[in-house]
Structure 1
Amino acid sequence: MLYADKRALENNLMVSLIEIRQKELDFYTRNCISIGTQAALLSGFAYAGIIQVAIPESCPDLLKAAYLSMTVCTMTVHLIALFNSTMCAMLGPGLALRGPDGSMHKAVDGMMVEYRVCFLFFVSGVVFFHFSAMLFTWTQWAWLIALPVTTVLFLFLYGIYSHFTRIYNKFQLRPGEMIDGRIVSPAEAAAVAGAQLVAPRRAATEAGLVIHESQLQAGRS
């Protein structure tokens, strides 16, 4: 009876630790899905700019090549963001769900890196999209019309940059503030508690969980 109670307590502890990391996995999965949705929309706009735009014959070949190259880059970068985010949203949770012991940590750590890569491609595609629109104006109209439109697009691009930096700086975590759900070894937990000046009660609770999990892993091995 006591052995069964101890095993039940151990299993409940492991499930609780996995549920903490599950929140991180859901967070990164939702981010990847959001990036993929918007990237698909913008890549469709870029594809329409390739096949449906009639460029006048009087337009210089160099300008045509610049516009088409920038539009293709816009579509390709967004497709990369779409493909990467879709793969992460599919394979990351699959690894955590069906992988061996420790797969949840591997999945969360991998999703944390890959979603940032997807976001980088998405932001690059947004910048390319604006440059493609600027080149489009020069292929269609004279400089008296193209110049003010290009100026407006530059202002909008600068506005996106300013809003991005403002929001990013408002919600950015400073070095050492980011907390994840991984339970580290007792020595690492003590070092982190001393470096970050964690509250004594919180440090003792986390250290107790760490020691208990370490004992469980040692017993299974």
Structure 2
Amino acid sequence: CRLSSNCSQPLRAWSTGSRGRCGAKMLQIYKNEAITHVQREQMEIRQMELDWYTRNYDTMAMQAAMFAGFAFEQITEPVPEGTNKMLEVVYVVLTASTLGFELCVCMSCTFCCIFGKGLALRGPNGARSVHIAIDNLHKEQKLVFTQFLLGIVGYLLSHVVEMWIYFRPRIAFTVSIPLVIFFLAIVYYVVTIVDQLLLTDDKALDGQIDAWSPYERIQDLDEEIYRPLDNKHQLYKNGRTMSTNGGTGIS
């Protein structure tokens, strides 16, 4: 009996230790799962911002492409002979400016949508790459929107000048009055809407949660585990290649 009791004590100790190690591993898994769940919730919030910015860029790109097509058709039409040089220069400059601004908007929107989403999805720094992508989309949006508005202003003004080139002064004056009225109305409504709906940076909220920033330093576990093995295999392969070349040289 004593022998059996003495033999059972190491077995109980071994089973207790194995259960303790198993419990520690399970706790580690649960902790990692909790951290991953927290990060996924934050990324879902930031995904809403990313989708909102990309939709804005898509909308501006479509409208800018339409105005660029109108401006290109306008600038390819020859100006009648005998046109006042000042009117001709102003007309060509306004039309070319419209075409240039709207093409810049199209290219900027295309690059922002492609590379912004690519950085957020495949960035090497995980959550920090998402923050960098969204912050840069936010910064570029103001510049792109300004270029879009300048292109529209140039397009409307070029049509006012166009009336004085292709029509007699009396007809041009009659047509210019409603064009100028609509131009001023558009400017008024744009300024009013922007003033009432646009949020400044100090009042706008974002989806980044500063309390969770320490968890953003977590790297890709699969890559962190595989990279040392891959580097070790590469060093071993290079070492074998060098030794083979050295042996060949000696012989």
Cα 1:17–1:57 change in 2 (3 A) is same
**How far has the Cα of 1:22 moved from its partner?**
1.2
Does residue 69 (structure 1) correspond to residue 101 (structure 2)? The answer is no
The answer for unaligned runs of 5 or more in structure 2 is: 1-25, 220-251
Cross-structure match for 2:146? 120
Match of 1:193 in 2: none
Per-residue CA deviation, residues 67-124 of structure 1 (Å, 9 max, x unaligned), is 1121111111110111111111111000111111211000000000112211110000
1:130 to 1:178, Cα distance in 2 relative to 1, 3 A: same
Alignment of 1:178 with 2:204, yes or no, is yes
TM-superposed deviation, 1:151: 2.0
Partner AA of 1:169 in structure 2: D
CA displacement 1:35-93 (0-9 Å, x = unmatched): 00000000000000011x34221212332222112111111111011111111111100
Residue matched to 2:66: 41
Name the larger-Rg structure: 2
Take 2:58 and 2:70, find their aligned partners in 1: how far apart are those partners? Answer: 19
Alignment of 1:23-172 (within 5 A): 23-51=48-76, 53-101=77-125, 102-172=128-198
Partner of 2:16: none
Q: CA RMSD in A?
A: 1.8
Residue 217 (structure 1) shift: 5.5
Q: What does residue 242 of structure 2 align with? A: none
Sort the Cα spacing of 1:147 and 1:181 in 2 relative to 1 into closer, same or farther, 3 A.
Answer: same
Cα distance change on mapping 1:96 and 1:43 into 2, 3 Å: same
Tell me: CA distance 1:165–1:66, structure 2 relative to 1, closer, same or farther (3 Å): closer
- Measure the CA separation in 2 of the matches of 1:11 and 1:4: 10
What does residue 199 of structure 1 align with?
none
Report percent identity of matched pairs: 31
Is 1:7 the counterpart of 2:27 in the alignment? no
Q: 1:48 to 1:218 in 2, by over 3 A?
A: closer
**TM-score, structure 2 as length reference:** 0.72
Change (3 A) 1:137 1:213: closer
Given the two structures, how large is their TM-score scaled by the length of structure 1? 0.81
CA distance in 2 between counterparts of 1:40 and 1:154 reads 24
Relative distance call for 1:166 and 1:66 in structure 2 (3 A) is: closer
Q: State the aligned residue count.
A: 192
Superposition deviation, residue 174 in structure 1: 5.7
CA gap 1:219/1:130 in 2 versus in 1, 3 angstroms: closer
User: How many angstroms does 1:176 deviate by?
Assistant: 3.8
> Offset at 1:169?
2.8
5+ unaligned residues in a row in structure 1: which ranges? Answer: 185-209
